Each structure stands twice: as structure tokens, then as C-alpha cells.
Amino acid sequence: MNTWHVVLLGLLEGLTEFIPVSSTGHLLLAGYFLGFNSPGKTFEVLIQLGSILAILSVYSAKLLRLLIDLPSDPRSRRFVLAVLVAFLPAAVIGAGAHKYIKEFLFESPTLVCVTLIVGGVVLLAVDKMRFEPRYHDAMDFSIPMALAIGFAQCLAMIPGVSRSGSSIVGALLLGADKRSATEFSFFLAMPTMVGAFAYDLYKNHAALTVDDVQGIALGFVVAFISGVVVVRYLLDFVSSHGFALFAWWRILVGGMGLGALFVLGAASP
């Protein structure tokens, strides 16, 4: 692994994991054009640990408060249950479809570019809709609503769709405002990313070399630092500016990717 490849991919992971642009899509495209290829795309999944720790560190005080309140506060118990229920669809479907996703969907840069563009168009459309939000706090989401958000998140198993984007759009369509939809996506990321990390490590640990582990460690550190910056400021940005910037970025990256694939003569999956 070239050090600058690892640093670049770690930076991409941290900067894009929690915004609705698809961190996996960006990593796969960058890896494809850089000629970077990890065994089973394991590097791209395992450096997510840096982003996981970033959100845990930023939300440590709130998570501690939840744990303290859990025995005595019904609202806290319902929120934790809602996050776990939202995680279930990804856990079940992801485990069952893991091999197909890694062997087929992750190997198609054309698919990534198309889903980036389509997702950008969807995000623009949703951002322009004038909803009447019924939920202004992620703590108030109902259990059925959380389950529906969990199924929406499963769309992100198609690389380029975006885990945060699908869960945020799902929450918006179900009556959440932009801030609470984004914050629930943060909390849902915790079990989802930990589960993906643990499952991928279990499946591919035997194929990892010392160089792979060193590269993953460096990518993890870079993803952690950049992820902390994004998590600290994203909620305020979304509340003030919405999602249009991210939508246009998706369309730009997807369009440039398709153009590059066409020029290189590699546009077919």
C-alpha cells in the first residue's frame, strides 16, 4: 500500500461517512482510478472503525447520559430500542447478502457512478420539498418509524447510495425535520458500522498481511480525525443549508466518474 493512497482514502472515509454522499462509493471510485485494490475490499470497510470512534468521541457525553438514564427514563429506553430496531434490517440482510455485495456490486465502478447521480437527484428533490415535520428530536421517533428508517438504510448496500443519505431521506419522508433526521442517522451509524466492521473482519482476517494491518491502522487514524470535524459541524450546517450542496457534489463526482470510465474504455461493469 502506498502511504499517500492510504491517507487519501482515510481522509475520504472520515469526510464522507456521515454526509449523504456515500463514503463507500467515494472509496471504491478512488481505489479504482488509483489502482488500489485491497483483498475483498476489506480495507475500505475496516477503516470505518476510525469514523465509528469519531462519532463515539463526539457523542460520548450524550451516550453516557443515555446509559445513566436508561434504568429510570422510559424515553431513553424507547430511543435505544428504536436505534436497535432500525439496525436489525441491515444486520439480517447484510449478513445474508454479504458475499454477493462484495463480489459483484463492489466491483462495478459504473454502478457507483450511476447511483451517485441518481441519489443526488433524489436528494435535490427531497431538499426542495416543504414538509411539515412532526418530529424535532430524534429521541421521539416511534419504533415503527425507526424500523422503516432501518429498511431505508438497507438501500445503501448498493455502493454509491449512501447509508446516511438513505436513512436521512427515510426519516424526512416519515415526518422528521432535517436536524433530527441527521442525528438519528448518527446514532444508527454506531451499531451498523460496528456490525459491518466486525463481520468483515471475521470473514477476511485470514487474508490480511502485516502491511494490510499497518495501512488499515493509518487509514483509521486519518478517518478518525476527519470524521470528528464532520460530526461536530454537520448538524448545524444541515439545519441552516439543507442537503443541496451534497446533492450537487454527488452528481458532479458521478458525472466525472462516468466520463473518466468512458475515456478509459472501462465503462462496462
Domain extent for 216: 3-264
Q: For residues 206 and 9, what is the distance between their CA atoms, to the nearest angstrom?
A: 23
Per-residue pLDDT, averaged over 236-255, amounts to: 91
The answer as to whether 217 is a domain residue is yes
The answer as to whether 156 is a domain residue is yes
Quick one: CA torsion of 41, 45, 50, 53, rounded to 10 degrees?
A: -170
pLDDT of residue 236: 86
Q: Write out pLDDT tens, residues 63-76.
A: 999 999 999 999 99
The answer as to whether 66 is a domain residue is yes
Q: For residues 246 and 205, what is the distance between their CA atoms, to the nearest angstrom?
A: 34
The answer as to whether 269 is a domain residue is no
pLDDT of residue 267: 43
Q: For residues 48 and 54, what is the distance between their CA atoms, to the nearest angstrom?
A: 10
Q: Which residue has the higher pLDDT, 265 or 156?
A: 156
Per-residue pLDDT, averaged over 180-204, amounts to: 86
Per-residue pLDDT, averaged over 82-96, amounts to: 92
Residue 173 has pLDDT above 90, yes or no: yes
pLDDT of residue 5: 84
Q: For residues 103 and 261, what is the distance between their CA atoms, to the nearest angstrom?
A: 20
CA-closest candidate to residue 238, choices 144, 152, 126? 126
Domain count, the chain: 1
